Chain A
Amino acid sequence: MDGSGKWDWDIGKKEIADINKWKETFEWVEEIYSSPDGEKAAAVVKTGEAEFSVCENGTAWENVFDKVWSLRFAPDGRLAGIVSDTGEWTLAVDGETWESRFEFVWNMQFSEAGEGIIAAAQSGRKYLAVVNDTPWENGFADMANLTPSKDGTGAAAAVQTVPFGESEIFKFQEGCYSVAVDGKTWDKNFVNVWEIAFSHDRKHVAAEVRTSLYDYTIAVDGVPWNQVFSSVWKPLFAPNDASVITAPVRIGGAWTLAKNGQAIWDKKFPQLWHHAYSPDGKKIAAIVSPKFGRWTVAVDAELWKLTFGDAVTDAVFSPDGKRVACCGKENGKWTIAFDGNVWGGIFDMAWQPVWSPDSLHVAAKLEKNRHYFIMIDGLPVKKGLEAAWDPIFSPDGKKILLRGIEDGKYFREVLPLK
């Protein structure tokens, strides 16, 4: 997102593309995607009999494919999709296909800033990751939980390291899975490996593992914690200290947060997951269930008084690390909550809230009866859109960029914050 300073932040509305015209031009137009700077809209389009391409601001890519799917804009603005080209699968980025080709490609992901594009691939029944068009040297019998490094130069995944027959239950329980980092596996095998996290400096990797059918723990660079738990959720590295790894762990039927194997929160909850560090690494927030059937946010084990009955999702720290916002659902309706307060109004859907750089404002995209809203601090700044994307604050925090579709026309609009 560092590039956002160079975007057009002049106040005003720009109409970028007339989607209705696209629909006249092409036999069909799939879902519309918007570039982060709002200057581009794109969609998979059918250009001919069993022939597909990508339309970007009204113009189709020169290349056509047997199939295009998983079209997405990377955070740095590049447009990537998975394409099938004469029976082989690869990625196309801004219209150009990668050189590496596979029997199948899926699970395309971007690194945080978008410089890394990775995907899962299979050839000759071997599974591997492709990072910026470079496939891993080794393939595996199976692969899951593909995870890019923060800087986008590498990837890790859970891989099957020992062959076993499906009915060989005792062999399975000896441990047939490990973690491959940039294609190289850890020395130790586990019964299962699930979600994976890279340290911010990219040097270390931690993963949820099961060492027997009953013992769960976190393994860091192949070494499991000394403590085992009845379950764990995804671990995280502290942003500025790769020696600190935290994860939700289940002890005696309740959840708490553990650091390097030891519980660091003095409270236990019926549920605790999706913990997140503040940008400075000093605080930890998590989504917790304080009692059966209720949900809230805990910051350093302190609970909000506000709870929701259906779900709490997408908790996110403000840039200064002092505030947290999330989506909450009660009686089937969604809203946005921040610091234990809730926006007025209920919606059919809510997207992850976005903080302003000065941490003073929170904005979000919401939907009601198929109409999309952009709201800032609980007040609508845009209503009744046919489609919308997450709002983005300008780096100085004085303006906000809205992207949406109105009357079939895709636009970007910069508004000043009052």
Chain B
Amino acid sequence: MGEPAVKIEESKVVADEGLNRGMERLTPEKIEKVIQSVLKSETGSRLKVYVDTCVHCGLCSEACHFYLSNEKNPSFSPAGKVKQTLWEMLKQKGKVSPEFIRRASEIASTECNLCRRCSMYCPFGIDIAYLMLVVRRICHKLGVTPQYIQSTAHSHSATMNQMWVKEDEWIDSLMWQEEEAREEFPNLRIPLDKEGADIFYSVIAPEPKFRAQLIYQAAAIMHKAGLDWTMPSTPGWDNSDMCMYTGDNEVMGRLKKAHFESAMKLRVKRIVMGECGHAFRSVYDMGNRWLTWRMPPVPVTHAIEFYAELFKAGKIKLAKKYEQPVTLHDPCNIVRGRGLHEMARYVVNETCEKFIEMEPNREHNFCCSAGGGVINCGPPFRNKRVEGNKVKAEQLFVAKSKGAKTVIAPCHNCHGGLEDIIHHYGLGMELKFLGDIIYECMEK
């Protein structure tokens, strides 16, 4: 029976109820049955060819911030993670121990951000993020998923949003932001359920829950640009999706169905979404595919693209430019996932006095280490996540030494991750969304 390839010292085993209690409920028979069934009925040519093609060259290693930040410990290399999880499951034909599954879940869920940087470093273009998702799927089916993200997945299933936001709380947040904004823009509206509007604006649940000012700012931008927009009052408003990351594909599909159908029910032309990366991956890449929509049935415009469009059309006028020198963090899911890096630079240059590139950048930028659901695995894995991204701190430090004072990160998870990194490594840099900058500088 397969045991974890790298024995973790006792003291380093992270206490997590989801992993621990989940593991306790496993039997070898169940493990074997579930692994076999996922491999047989849910995977096919991609898994086979990826496993058969990998020549064990290790060239993917240097793509990974976990590997680079952990003194190049090979157990953190992308292929190293596949070796410790999927290869072993395949080799043992599913006969692995409960401890192995616990460790596999921990590796796939908390030591890989599914950032896809390694796919650009693998000569064969092996999609290692996909392989890690297969591992997460197996662990989901075995009921061994970290507690915090599992709770989030439950929230999604019960409320169709990520943060247990109740239906009335959602509407109340919007009305509250509308009321606040009317102090500044007397005629501003956040139109609810407006059929036939051009734009359906969707956000992730942390916005109404913790970052309501982002809704305020978005409403201000829509208002000043004179756009015909709406937000739905009923579930379907949240575009986020942690079920995509726990391997609960069925709920992922259910969430995306609710999201797209609420947009289609309102007969909008397109969905514009806030500055979030993983949600974009869910609506543009993974969720729609599970439902067999080849592309989103309603076009989805990410905030970066939307802002770029507004500036190109001259719909937003600036009263000033943002003075502090800024640097830009390219979020994986909208750069490697959508190629929005040049548009982001256009918006930054439109709005900021001085822009300093961090290196590497664009498609080659390092992940924030919060993405892929890792930050959603919560406090038990926080240290591993932050210490596992020393390279990001170094990258930010170099940008800082060139003069950058503000980091722009147009993604919620990146914000969470970078906030922790800036704090932990004492970088003393300010963190902003593009929307923050635009709101601050626009003519009101």
Contacts and interface: CB of A to CB of B under 8 A. Distances in A.
Interface in B119-156: 140-141, 143, 147-148, 150-151, 154-155
A44 to B, nearest CB: 10
Nearest to A192: B157
A390 to B, nearest CB: 11
Interface string B161-179: 0001011100110010000
A194 interface: yes
A172 interface: yes
Contacts of B88: none
Interface in A327-382: 329, 332, 348-349, 351, 367
Q: Among the interface residues A31, A120, A270, which one has the most CB atoms of the partner chain B within 10 A?
A: A31
A62 interface: no
Nearest to A329: B297
Interface stretch (B79-87, B98-106, B287-295, B314-322): B287-295
B159 A144 contact: yes
A18 B310 CA distance: 33
Contacts of A231: 250, 253-254
Interface size range of chain B in the complex: 35 or more
A411 interface: no
A191 B157 CA distance: 9
A106 B297 CA distance: 27
A70 B192 contact: yes
B164 A166 contact: yes
Contact of B267 (A160, A192, A310, A349): A349
B175 A107 contact: no
A40 interface: no
Interface in A164-189: 166-167, 169-170, 172-173, 177
Contacts of A277: none
Given A107-B233, A292-B292, A310-B295, A167 B269 contact: no
Given A144-B158, A231-B253, A104 B294 contact: no
A214 B141 contact: yes
Contacts of B167: 106-107, 120, 143-144
A216 B251 CA distance: 11
A148 to B, nearest CB: 14
B9 interface: no
A348 to B, nearest CB: 7
B206 to A, nearest CB: 14
A172 B158 CA distance: 10
A167 B146 CA distance: 11
B172 to A, nearest CB: 6
Interface residues of A, number: 52
Contacts of B140: 213
Interface in A1-37: 28, 30-31
A252 interface: yes
A271 B292 contact: yes
B166 A127 contact: yes
Given A104-B171, A169-B154, A311-B297, A367 B196 contact: yes
A213 B34 CA distance: 14
B17 interface: yes
Given A144-B158, A213-B140, A70 B193 contact: yes
Given A104-B168, A166-B155, A167-B151, A292 B294 contact: yes
B235 interface: yes
A194 B164 CA distance: 15
Contact of B248 (A107, A213, A310): A213
Given A177-B158, A213-B248, A349-B269, A311 B18 contact: no
Interface in B196-225: 196
Contacts of B155: 166
Contact of A167 (B147, B187, B234, B257): B147
Contacts of B337: none
B176 to A, nearest CB: 12
A47 interface: no
B172 A172 contact: no
A161 interface: no
Contacts of A194: 254
A122 B165 CA distance: 14
B21 interface: yes
Q: Among the interface residues B171, B267, B291, B295, which one has the most CB atoms of the partner chain A within 10 A?
A: B267
B299 interface: yes
Given A170-B17, A210-B157, A216-B250, 19 more contacts: A70-B233, A106-B234, A107-B234, A144-B167, A166-B154, A166-B164, A169-B151, A170-B21, A191-B157, A192-B158, A213-B140, A231-B253, A289-B292, A293-B292, A310-B295, A310-B297, A311-B297, A349-B267, A351-B267
14 contacts: A31-B194, A104-B172, A106-B171, A107-B234, A122-B168, A144-B159, A166-B151, A166-B154, A167-B17, A170-B21, A172-B154, A270-B292, A349-B269, A351-B267
